[in-house]
Amino acid sequence: MDKNLLNKKEELINNAIVTLKKEFVGIDKQIDSIMDNLRTWFLFPELQSRPLVISIWGLTGTGKTSLVNRIAELLDIEKDKVYFNFAKISESSAWEIEQEIEDELSNERSNRMFVYDEFQYANTLDETGAEKDKRSGLKPFWELLDTGIIHKRYNFYGIRGLYNVGFYLAKINERYPMEVVNGTWTNASKCLEGFSQYEIMKFRELLNFDLENKSLGENPQSTGIGRSSECAKELDLPIPAYSYSSFFIKERYLDLMLDMREKTQIGIMDRHEEYLKICSKSINEIIDDITKIYENASKGYDLVFNDSIIFVLGNLDEAYTVAFDVDPDMSPDQFNKITSKINIVDIKRALQKRFRNEQIARLGNIHIIYPSFSSDSFRKIIDLSLNEYANDVKHLTGYRLVFDKSIKDIIYKESVFPTHGTRPIFSTVHEIVKTKLPAIVRRVYEDNVNVDCIQYSYKRGKTNVSVVDTDGNTPINCKFKEKLRLEKLRDNSKDEDQALVAVHESGHFVMYAKLFGKMPEKVCSKTASSDNGGFMLKSDDSDEMHSKEWMINSIKVSLGGYVAEEMVFGDDKRTSGASEDLRKATQLCSLMVRNYGMGPHAFCTTYYTDPTTCLSGNILKEDNQEYINEAIKRIFNECLNDVRDTLNNKEWRKMLKSSAQYLSTHTQMPKKKMIECYNLVNGKLRKTDDNDRYYREKIDNI
């Protein structure tokens, strides 16, 4: 064991961890987990009996592929990295994929880094859970995941051709002993006497021979084993000094013979030396060699990569349910909280919708789960992107770039889609920042300015770029009007639509604050989304028990917007904007009665035409379910009346009015204003009688 080499590798890993945490934001824990698992493989790959599999899951644009590529760079193993993008792998046969893998690799160095990117496209089950057709071609990839060994068979026609070579040689040699000197068949004319012209034609397909003492060989330009001079020049490889163009077996079959011998028998370190050995053998020895090689080749051979590491990268929308929400006004911090709670069970459950259980088992248990980026992470990514660009400009031009907070804020507002990761940021930085530099540099050259720095800022729809000279003056000050795509959509219109939405969302806000005793994550009356005038985003409640009380409160919150419109604008002026809220409230009422045993009975019923089947048997279906519908309507109406009573109450109506007035002139409400509105009810922020230990404490009273 080389102690110096181990120390060098340890240093590479430790330095890599520091660098990765500087370059990749918000995933320190994930980096630690990946590198801790990778360390043993990197230091002692020979101790592995099967590949180390590390799966990384996350939303698009969170840097999964970039991280793995950077790890390969920092550990200086890029030459050992083999990349496969499953979004581009066609429905090839297993043999074609095996050949592709072998073309990329060799057994000479087996401890490779395999990267299976976009792995969700390798799914073997369709949306209905049925087996997809034509997925057998991916079998080699699953074999690598399991044992790290791919058993490969030669192409049938290749080994059949080699068999024919041996068969014909034996047939000719049996009739008249062949004489081979240094690979040249010297008595071909004598040996082939008595064979028909058809037989001689078949021999010529496989063998080189001269019946009229002319020069031998199928290709006079051939200069090496499996490598012509032209090919060698194209690949910038040395042209071999030896030739086997006159060897009595055709070049392609001699190549095949050497390949098979290398892969199925002793292993050939020097093909030229092996060729010279063949030239020195008698014809009977050559025929015996061909027979043995053919027999071994028929069994196939192994590509062995059991001491490798395999990174499986993918996006699993089934686990990341927030992936379907592309509203840029949703809270990155809320999504970050939700996605941070995704665990290995959620991942495996999501994988079951795409893969068979035995395939999921091959991925092992090392699942690295990326959260979506928080607002703070997005801002750090913007800083990193701007700093990287500033460093590039400094290196290229010598000019120092300075970015004001205002330019960072507009980039954030224009580029952040919580579920789309970093890519929109990079394109927005290009459009708002990078496109301005050519014009500024041209002005600097024209005016012959001694530049100290170039400052970027943003105000009222325009990016301002100022050049500060070495005397502290600003000789150049350019304003660029921005074509804002999102911020313009959020402009505070203060129109009728915004007034309507302000009242509606205030109704949700009042009921949520009253019933749950906490402020929502966000309340908006104007968003960038064309189909979403506004919204109220609840605080993360994924840890809360969905008790009957919680269900009732959620129904009431859903009805808050509907009742607020009814009370403020009158029954005739209500709009269709509450349709989704009413649908959700009705659905919750139905679930309480039909599924959750929170109605007049505890059994589950179905409203489908036919009974559905579940693990415990058929769900009860009765011919007359009117009493069930009545129970659903009763819960709905009781909740609706309670919401009306609340919003008609003088104190809560005060809060509704304050909230609606604010949202009618502002696109969203900050937390401080929410608390201010809530305090109008009785002068202080109240907390509902939630007891985090309610169920545990009740056990003592059994």
> Is the confidence at residue 137, as pLDDT, over 90?
no
Which residues, including other chains, have CB under 8 Å from residue 48's CB and lie 6 or more apart?
41, 148, 306, 307, 308
Going by the DSSP 8-state scheme, the letter that residue 250 receives in this structure is: -
Give the residue-averaged pLDDT of 334-339. Answer: 84
3-state helix, strand, coil in the chain (%, to 5): 50, 10, 35
Count the alpha carbons within 13 Å of 611 in the hemisphere toward its beta carbon: 12
Determine the angle formed by the axes of helices 650-665 and 671-679, rounding to 10 degrees: 150
What would the pLDDT profile of 427-443 be if each residue is shown by its tens digit?
A: 999 999 999 999 999 99
- pLDDT grade for 298, boundaries at 50, 70 and 90: confident
Three-state SS for 459?
Answer: strand
Percent of the chain exceeding pLDDT 70 equals 81
pTM of the model: 0.70
Pairing type for strands 309-314 and 52-57 reads parallel
Work out the number of other CB atoms within 10 angstroms of the CB of residue 524.
25
In 3D space, the residue among 26, 328, 308 whose CA is nearest the CA of residue 144 turns out to be 308
Q: Which domains, ranges and CATH numbers included, belong to the chain?
A: 3-147+305-369 (3.40.50.300), 156-299 (no CATH), 375-481 (1.10.8.60), 496-699 (1.20.58.760)
Phi/psi of residue 194, each to 5°?
95, -15
Please state the length of the chain: 702
pLDDT (tens digit, 9 = 90+) per residue, 486-539? 655 555 567 788 899 999 999 999 999 999 988 998 898 877 665 557 888 887
Lowest average pLDDT, out of 24-28, 49-53, 298-302, goes to 298-302
Looking at residue 432, the DSSP 8-state letter turns out to be: H
The secondary structure of residue 87, as a DSSP letter, is: T
Report the percentage of the chain scoring pLDDT > 90: 47
Query: Using CB atoms within 10 A of its CB, is residue 366 exposed (0-12), middle (13-18) or buried (19+)?
Result: middle
The per-residue b/e assignment along 310-332, b for 16 or more CB within 10 angstroms, e otherwise, is: bbbbbbbebbbebbeeebbbbbb
Q: What is the pLDDT of residues 143-178, one digit of tens each?
A: 889 998 888 777 677 788 888 999 999 999 999 999
List, for residues 660-697, the tens digit of each pLDDT value. 999 999 988 999 999 999 998 865 555 544 556 666 67
Q: Which of 514, 531, 512 is nearest to 522 (CA)?
A: 512
Task: Please state, in angstroms and rounded to a whole number, the distance separating the CA atoms of residues 381 and 378.
Answer: 5
Contact of 69 with 311, CB cutoff 8 Å:
no
Residues 555 and 636: beta-carbon distance below 8 Å: yes
User: Which DSSP string do the residues of 271-306 spell out, in sequence order?
Assistant: HHHHHHHHHTS-HHHHHHHHHHHHHHHHH-EEEE-T
Helix (H, G, I), strand (E, B) or coil at 623: coil
Q: Which residues contact 690 (CB under 8 A, 6 or more apart)?
A: 517
Q: Residue 455's beta-bridge partner residues?
A: 402, 466
Integer CA distances (angstroms), 33 to 28, 29, 117, in order: 9, 6, 19
Which residue from 469, 559, 567, 487 is spatially nearest to 526, judged by alpha carbons? 487
Report d(CA 620, CA 38) in Å as an integer.
Answer: 53
